[in-house]
Amino acid sequence: MTAERTRSWAFALVSVSGVMLTLDVTVVNVALPAIGTELSASAEVLPWTVSAYSLAFGALLLTAGTWSDAAGHRRVFTTGMAVFTLASLACAAAPTIGTLIAARAAQGAGGALAFAPALALLAATHEGAARRSAIASFAALSSLAGALGPVLGGGVVAALGWEWIFLLNVPVGGFVLVAAALVLPRSRPDPRTTPVDVSGAALAVATLLALHTALATGSSLGWTSTVTVGAGVAFGVLLPVFVRGQRRPRALLDVGAVDGAAFTAAAALTFTGRMASLGTLAFLTLWLQDTAAASPWRAGLLLLPLTGSLALAGLLTASVQARLGPARTVASGFGLQAAGLVVLAVAAGTSSVVWACGGMTLLGAGTALVFPPLLTVTVSVVPPARTGVASGLTNACSPLGTATGVAVFGALFAALGGTGVAFTGVCLAAATVCVVSVALARRLLPGDVPGEPSSTRPTAVRAADAAGPPGAPPSTQADLRRSSQIR
């Protein structure tokens, strides 16, 4: 198979899997009433159908990225898709709520294994402008899937029943699994890869699981509940132990970043970006249902300005990043997010759906600009042998940011009475997060992607720089990138 076809297949398979895995984070929310009725689940137990997936997915992403560097990105990706697909079938066939929750946890674990090496697969098969475009499209599709989850879930439940939310994953997952095994090059061990930090990986899973559990149960069971307090204490004990263990050579988080500040900023801004976008989505949906007297299905349709602007802006993100560079593109995205959240705060104060549509449009466009450059920076400032753990770390910040947003903004929403005033407070708090993120992006992110021509120089000059002097051979670095195989 030619290199071009391999790139096309890699992008298609990674994108389809990313959409499917992200959908399953939010798509089940609208099916909870039907699941509760059929499986006789109590109101206290039912939310764990959602939390089990999120907890397993978020807790395993970092470790899964490390495993993919050691075992091969293709192998971990296909293993994850196999687990996810089989678990989806088990979810649809679950006879009890306990079985469904266990299957959802297995589904989340498989999702983490498949999602963690996604960026590494794209980085291994694309370079330069093609890499920017592939990562931008992947990020836009994944974000769009998360926002469309309630809409698609409502339609599937209404037309076919809640089981089909999971059954539809089976043929798609089977196709991705077979196609990946046939068209992606076989992985081979890389002698440069750092051995897996087993103790660090185990501590990372336990620490993230404790944190996600505290955040998930705090907003549902109460911050003083036994489960929440216990998880919080466990996190407080495990975090210092994990951090101390990461000071030794070849630790789990030793990604070998060329620009440590940029890598750290990309991870932190991924967290704040998810916190301000998907972390506020549940409260936006609740406000739309209350203000417009909309059903969950109609409220999902009212979100189309958000999802539509996200999709359209996503088509332009790669070209915007090529012109402005990562720092200014991400800062612009957070600026649009902040403006959109302020407009939504005004809409909440006036109960205006028209203002809300304007705010959602700005929020969606800003979200589309934020994440692709962050993902590009993540895989550009680390050695090829560490792209798995690097992408795993950044990806782990996404569900953590969403969970933190839901928990923090949920507490604020409840404290303000859960009305339009409460949603105004949520929007202004999220806008503040975005304003701080603008400053961090401008200060810490690079103006250009390492190894690529400067975005601040004229196009003709950049093209001449990329080509080199007449008769000069291609650079050794470019040769190495093109000759590297997918791991």
- What digits encode the pLDDT tens for the residues 60-113? 887 887 788 778 888 899 999 999 999 999 999 999 999 999 999 999 999 999
364 found inside a domain: yes
| Residue 83 pLDDT | 96
Average pLDDT of the residues of the chain: 80
The span from the CA of 165 to the CA of 207, in Å, is 31
Mapped onto helix, strand or coil, the DSSP state of residue 254 is coil
Give the range among 92-101, 192-201, 264-273, 284-293 with minimum mean pLDDT.
192-201
Phi first, then psi: give them for residue 193, nearest 5 degrees. Answer: -70, 135
The span from the CA of 211 to the CA of 228, in Å, is 9
The verdict on 63 and 204 lying in the same domain is no
The span from the CA of 409 to the CA of 287, in Å, is 14
How many domains is the chain partitioned into structurally? Answer: 3
| Residue 251 pLDDT | 64
The verdict on 215 and 358 lying in the same domain is no
Last residue of a domain, one of 158, 184, 210: 184
35 found inside a domain: yes
pLDDT band (50, 70, 90) for residue 459:
very low
190 found inside a domain: no
Question: pLDDT digit string (tens) for 322-340?
Answer: 899 999 999 999 999 999 9
CATH code: domain of residue 114: 1.20.1250.20
Nearby residues of 209 by Cβ (< 8 Å), 6 or more positions away:
55, 59
Is it the case that residue 429 has pLDDT exceeding 90? yes
222 found inside a domain: yes
The verdict on 177 and 208 lying in the same domain is no
Is 252 or 109 the better-scoring residue by pLDDT? 109
Is 3 or 102 the better-scoring residue by pLDDT? 102
| Residue 355 pLDDT | 93
The verdict on 324 and 385 lying in the same domain is yes
| Residue 197 pLDDT | 64
Nearby residues of 374 by Cβ (< 8 Å), 6 or more positions away:
266, 269, 270, 273, 326, 330, 394, 445
The verdict on 285 and 434 lying in the same domain is yes
Of residues 279, 449, 434, 436, the one with CA closest to residue 370:
434
| Residue 5 pLDDT | 80
Is 104 or 208 the better-scoring residue by pLDDT? 104
473 found inside a domain: no
The DSSP 8-state label assigned to residue 30 in this structure reads G
The verdict on 135 and 17 lying in the same domain is yes
What is the CA angle 167-106-486, rounded to 5?
A: 90
pTM above threshold 0.85: no
Segments in 351-447 forming alpha helices (H):
353-380, 387-415, 420-444
First to last CA, the chain: 17
Top-confidence range, 15-29, 79-93, 385-399: 79-93
Output the six-digit token pair for 221: 């069971």
pLDDT band (50, 70, 90) for residue 245:
confident
Top-confidence range, 25-34, 209-218, 430-439, 461-470: 430-439
| Residue 416 pLDDT | 86
Is 247 or 231 the better-scoring residue by pLDDT? 231
Q: Averaged over 212-234, what is the pLDDT?
A: 81
In terms of phi and psi (left: phi > 0; alpha: psi -120 to 50; beta: otherwise), the region of 222 is left
| Residue 360 pLDDT | 95
464 found inside a domain: no
| Residue 152 pLDDT | 78
302 found inside a domain: yes
Is it the case that residue 292 has pLDDT exceeding 90? no
The verdict on 285 and 337 lying in the same domain is yes
| Residue 167 pLDDT | 94
Looking up tokens 């400053």, which residue turns up? 439
The verdict on 210 and 266 lying in the same domain is no
Q: Averaged over 218-232, what is the pLDDT?
A: 81
Top-confidence range, 8-22, 244-258, 287-301, 401-415: 8-22
The verdict on 165 and 205 lying in the same domain is no
| Residue 222 pLDDT | 76
Percent of the chain beyond pLDDT 90? 26
Full domain range(s) for residue 60: 1-184
The verdict on 104 and 208 lying in the same domain is no
The span from the CA of 344 to the CA of 328, in Å, is 24
| Residue 257 pLDDT | 58
Single-letter code of the amino acid located at 81: M
What is the CA angle 430-438-351, rounded to 5?
A: 30
| Residue 68 pLDDT | 80
What is the CA angle 114-118-120, rounded to 5?
A: 130
pLDDT band (50, 70, 90) for residue 480:
very low
Rounded to the nearest 10 degrees, the angle between the axes of helix 304-350 and helix 420-444 is 120
Count Cα atoms within 13 angstroms, Cβ side, for 248.
9
Question: pLDDT digit string (tens) for 24-50?
Answer: 877 787 787 788 889 988 867 777 887
Cβ proximity of 117 and 299 under 8 Å: no
pLDDT band (50, 70, 90) for residue 469:
very low
The verdict on 95 and 33 lying in the same domain is yes
Is 132 or 20 the better-scoring residue by pLDDT? 20
Single-letter code of the amino acid located at 237: V
246 found inside a domain: yes
The verdict on 165 and 73 lying in the same domain is yes
Q: Which residues of 217-234 are buried (b: 16+ CB within 10 A; e: fewer)?
A: bbbbeeeeeeebeebbeb
Last residue of a domain, one of 251, 272, 288: 251
* Cα–Cα distance list, 4 to 1, 10, 126, 175, 262 (Å): 8, 10, 9, 21, 31
Is it the case that residue 194 has pLDDT exceeding 80? no
